[in-house]
Structures are given as structure tokens and as C-alpha cells.
Amino acid sequence: MPRTTTLSVTRDDLIKAALRKIKAIGAGELPSTEDYTNCAFAMNLMLKAWEKDGKYLWKLSEIAVPLITGNVSYQIGPTATGTGAVVTDRPMCIIEGSYVRDSSGLDQSLTIISRQEYNQLGFKTTAGTPNQVFYDPQLLNGVAKFYGAPSDSTHTAYLTAQTPVYDFNSGTEVLDLPQEGYQAVVYGLADDVMDEYPLPDEKTVQRIMAKSEAFRKQLADWSQEETSTFFMPTNR
């Protein structure tokens, strides 16, 4: 039998593992339909909350925004509308590494600025190649606002964005995290739902809480890019 490295687990596999940790079910037993429903809801909430820990490398995407002559504002999201709208998952944030590419393939970096910095800029629609961008995530569709209105439609902005972890909508769906995150989810869910079940003994409770915290921290630390850090003055 060939050796593999492609382990994947489903939503229901994770729920069963978590409930075994807190002794809500025994080996070979299956959760009830209500258990699956309640734990799936708790898991979705937990995974969304974890996104606040940092920018997961596997959820960084490069979103192409074709720039339109004279237009500085672009909606980005699942129901984006308007001039130059990009229909995709709503970016949670945009990070450094974003750039603008012209028709000949020449790239120019984009500086990410805050709302205050953008508001203080004058003549936002001055014709030219955009070199700064402010991103407003909002709730459903984000809005990218560029400084400098394109004088033609030959440029494309490539925004490096953090996108959301996919929702669990069925029991057979696979976790939207790499294999290294499975253990953190099992213990995190066990810790999260313990209050809804008869609590195991105090020693088990403390062990689950400690492992949940440790595995979550390891996941957050591991998922960050490791590069050299350089400090330099800025004229902003």
C-alpha cells in the first residue's frame, strides 16, 4: 500500500473527535442530529473568531482589480456592484505586497494607507497611475479606494488580501485549514462546547483547556510568514 500525505477530515469527523474528548460520546458511538447541528454552529463561530489571531498564509489571495479610466472606488465582494466591481469573497483586509501592473507588465507598488490618510489626500481624482489604496472591509462587500484616477484602462491592481475561512454547511465538507490545524480545531471545539454537556472530571477539563490554548497558539504562530524585517524612514 503506498504511503500518503493527504490526510483530510470532515466536519462530522471533527465533531465526533471533540465530543469524545469531553466524554459526551464513547468509542464507536455517534452524536445525535442535534449534537451535530449545535457543534457545527459552534465550530463556524470559533473558526471565524480565530481569524482575528492573524493572517493565515493559506487564506492570502491575490485579487485582480482591472482599473477603469477615471474611477477611484471599487466594490469587492460576493454581491459587488458598480463601476469596476469585482465579484469574489469579501477581503478581510489588504496587506503590503499589493501592486499595479501596466499593459507592458511593469509593476509599481501600492502603499496601503488608513482611512484618515486617504481622507486627508487632496485631488483624489487627479489623473495618473494609482500608487496608494485605502480598503474599507464593511460587512458584505468591501470597497477599495485608490489615490490617483487611471488615465486609461490598461492597468490592473493586484491586491494581496486576507480572505475568510469557508463556512461548514454539511457534515461531509473538509476543513478549510491545512492538516496542521486539525488538532487545534478538535481541542478548540471540545473546549468551546463543554458548557453544553455534563462536564467531565476537573482534571480532564483543565487538560482540554490547556491543550486548546496551546494548539491554537501554535497554529497562529506557525501560519505567519517568516522573512527578514527591515526598518527605514518614510515620508508619509
90 neighbors 51 (Cβ within 8 angstroms)? no
For residues 177 and 183, what is the distance between their CA atoms, to the nearest angstrom?
11
Indicate whether 114 belongs to any domain.
yes
Q: Is the pLDDT of residue 227 over 60?
A: no
Q: Is the pLDDT of residue 221 over 90?
A: no
Grid coordinates representing 180 are 496542521
Q: What is the pLDDT of residues 19-73, one digit of tens each?
A: 999 999 998 899 999 999 999 999 999 999 998 876 678 888 999 999 999 999 9
Indicate whether 171 belongs to any domain.
no
Q: What is the pLDDT of residues 184-201, one digit of tens each?
A: 999 999 999 999 998 888
pLDDT of residue 58: 83
Nearest CA to 24 out of 227, 236, 198 is that of 198
197 neighbors 73 (Cβ within 8 angstroms)? no
Q: What is the span of the domain harbouring residue 110?
A: 57-162
Indicate whether 69 belongs to any domain.
yes
The answer to whether residues 138 and 214 belong to one domain is no
Indicate whether 153 belongs to any domain.
yes
142 neighbors 77 (Cβ within 8 angstroms)? yes
The answer to whether residues 44 and 86 belong to one domain is no
The answer to whether residues 119 and 215 belong to one domain is no
Indicate whether 184 belongs to any domain.
yes
- SS3 at position 147: strand
Grid coordinates representing 47 are 473558526
The answer to whether residues 62 and 19 belong to one domain is no
Compute the average pLDDT of residues 147-173: 92
Give the predicted TM-score (pTM) of the model. Answer: 0.83
The answer to whether residues 49 and 69 belong to one domain is no
Q: Is the pLDDT of residue 229 over 60?
A: no
Beta-sheet pairing, 99-101 with 107-109: antiparallel
Q: For the purposes of burial, counting CB atoms within 10 Å of the CB of 120, is it exposed (0-12), middle (13-18) or buried (19 or more)?
A: exposed
The answer to whether residues 146 and 65 belong to one domain is yes
The answer to whether residues 121 and 205 belong to one domain is no
67 neighbors 130 (Cβ within 8 angstroms)? yes
The answer to whether residues 46 and 89 belong to one domain is no
Q: Calculate the CA dihedral of residues 198, 202, 208, 212 and round it to 10 degrees.
A: 100
Q: What is the pLDDT of residues 109-131, one digit of tens each?
A: 999 999 999 999 988 888 989 99
For residues 223 and 180, what is the distance between their CA atoms, to the nearest angstrom?
9
Task: With cut-offs at 50, 70 and 90, classify the pLDDT of residue 222.
Answer: confident
User: Count of domains in the chain?
Assistant: 2
Q: What is the pLDDT of residues 63-106, one digit of tens each?
A: 999 999 999 999 999 999 999 999 999 999 998 889 999 999 99
Indicate whether 157 belongs to any domain.
yes
